[in-house]
Structure formats: C-alpha cells, structure tokens
Amino acid sequence: MNKDLQSQEALQLFEDQPVRTAWDEANEEWYFSIVDVIGILTEQASARSASTYWAVMKKRLKNEGADQLLTNCKQLKLKAADGKRYNTDVASTEQLLRIIQSIPSKKAEPFKHWLAQVGRERIEETLDPELIADRLVATYERKGYTREWINQRLMAISARKELTDEWKDRGIKQNSEYAILTDELTKAWSGMTTRQYKNIKGLKKESLRDNMSTTELVLNMLAETATKELSQAEAPAGFEESKTIAQRGGQIAGDARKAIEAGTGKSIITRKNASQLNHVVTQMIEASASASESAALPDPEQ
C-alpha cells in the first residue's frame, strides 16, 4: 500500500465500535482492517484474540481453495491501540464480504448493510463535499457538543487543512515533520508542546482539538492561519525555514492570548476536556441533582 492510501486512513464506527479503514482515491475503494471486523463479528474480547481467530481462519480458507482471496488481501500500516503503526491485513468490500460469509455471527447481515452504507456515503461525499460537514456535525451533536463549538471546530478543520496543504507545497514531509511544526506552533501560542497540553487535560490518544474550549480553538486556528499566511508570503525553502515561520505564526496567537488574559484576569488555557466542556453533560448532571437533592453529584473528573 502506498503512502497516499495511508494518508486517507480513517476510523469508521459500526454500532459504536471502531473499524480502521483507508480510502483508495484512485480506485474509489475502501479497505477495512480484517481483525477489527472479526473482533466485532465474533465479539472477541481483545485484538490478540481476533488476530488468532484470523490466523486460524486463513488456514481454513486456504484448505477450502480460497488462495486467490488471501493473495489479494493487502497490508497497510495502521495505528493500533498503543499509538504505534503495525502491518495490518486489510480487505476491500468485496473481499470482506467473502470473509464475512465464513464467520457465523448474528451481526453478519447488519454489518453487510453497514458496508454498503459506508461505500455509498463516500461516493455521495465525493459528489457533494458539503455532506462531509453534515456528517461531522451529526457526529459531534451525538457526543453532546454545543452548536457554537461545532461551528468553530469545522472552521478549525478547514484552517488546519489549508496549513497542511501549504506545508506540503513547501516540501514538508507528512507525519513526523508535520508533528514537529505543529509542536512549535502550539508551544509558541500556548506555552506548551502538544503532549504537555494533552497532559494537563488528562488526554492520552484523544484529539486535543476535540477537547479544547471555543476560545482555545479560536487561538489555535489563529496560529495556524497566521502561519499559513506568513508561509505563502515568504515561500520558505524546506523544513528549517518553515519551522521558524511556525514559531512566528504561533507567537501572533500567543500575543492575542496574553492580551485576553490581561484583560480578563484569567487563563485561557483550561484543564477541562470534552466531558467537562460539553453543555449537554452539564445539563445531565444538573438534572440528576434536581431529581435527588440528597444524592451526591457525579464526580466532574470522571
């Protein structure tokens, strides 16, 4: 699998269970992690159990004469639960349907319908990109985010895409160099690296932006937009010059943060993550307290 396909990596949800996928733009084809699908259909408790099931199943399929199916299954380096990437067997929709037929599961038929829906949604989104935004809005609404926050998040996604496109045009390598530049930018406006920022919010592998307040999102977006504008104006040659520009772009947002903090007398950076920021969660806690005044409130750190 090439890097272009890996860059289209995404998580899809089947009944709130994640399935790692990758979109092949050239062939307009989804590839799905086979062990993820097996884990869902067989209700295996761990990724190791699902991998063992798949290893045994491959031997059985080979004995049944399904050599071509197994040969055509590809491998892609997908991110695992520990945050590292490992070679993972993936299958196209057609290949996956053949594999599903060999797994006795009450979820087989619902999963087939889900596969058809995932494929249809991608084709519809290609024809009408606004559907991507609609799906994102629906996902965030289900998680309890406010409309104000969702609108800001969509704008932040657009700003981030414009910046990474600019970096790509300047010859920046994806993944490792993007991460370094993002760290420099984040440190310049917030005073912390991305990892340090996550730590104060109690995050591990979760998205930092999905756990920012509206104001934090705005400042982060300002840093990324300023960096993009500076880069377009100065046309840096390579990584080191882009790094300097990222620091300057972040500093612009950092100055704005300090000005707001001086005026309000409080820090913009909050330790709250999504569970504490979402209004829906707050409303649920308040409703619980009203229903039973004598009962203790749920721990806000949960």
Q: What is the tens place of the pLDDT at every residue in 65-122?
A: 777 777 778 888 888 877 788 889 998 888 888 888 889 999 999 998 888 877 666 5
Query: Looking only at Cα atoms, what is the longest distance across the chain?
Result: 73
What is the pTM for the complete model shown? 0.56
According to the model, what pLDDT value does residue 255 have?
97
Q: Which amino acid is at 129?
A: P
The phi and psi torsions of 165 (rounded to 5 degrees) equal -65, -40
* CA pair distance 115, 54, nearest whole angstrom: 19
With CA atoms as reference, report the closest residue to 199 among 215, 189, 211. Answer: 211
The phi and psi torsions of 88 (rounded to 5 degrees) equal -130, 130
* CA pair distance 295, 18, nearest whole angstrom: 35
Average pLDDT of span 280-287: 36
Q: How far does the chain reach from its first CA to its final CA, in angstroms? A: 40
Residue 261 and residue 215 in contact, taking contact as beta carbons nearer than 8 Å: no
| Burial profile 21-43: b = 16 or more Cβ within 10 angstroms, e = fewer | bbbbeeeeebbbbbbbbbbbbbe
- For the chain, the average pLDDT equals 81
Average pLDDT of span 199-211: 87
Over pLDDT 90: what percentage of the chain? 38
User: CB under 8 Å to 107, separation ≥6 — which residues?
Assistant: 15, 40, 41
**DSSP type of residue 31:** E
Cα-based distances in Å from 290 to 24, 297, 300:
51, 10, 16
Cα angle 153, 282, 212 (rounded to 5 degrees) comes to 30
The phi and psi torsions of 173 (rounded to 5 degrees) equal -80, 140
Q: Which amino acid is at 135?
A: R
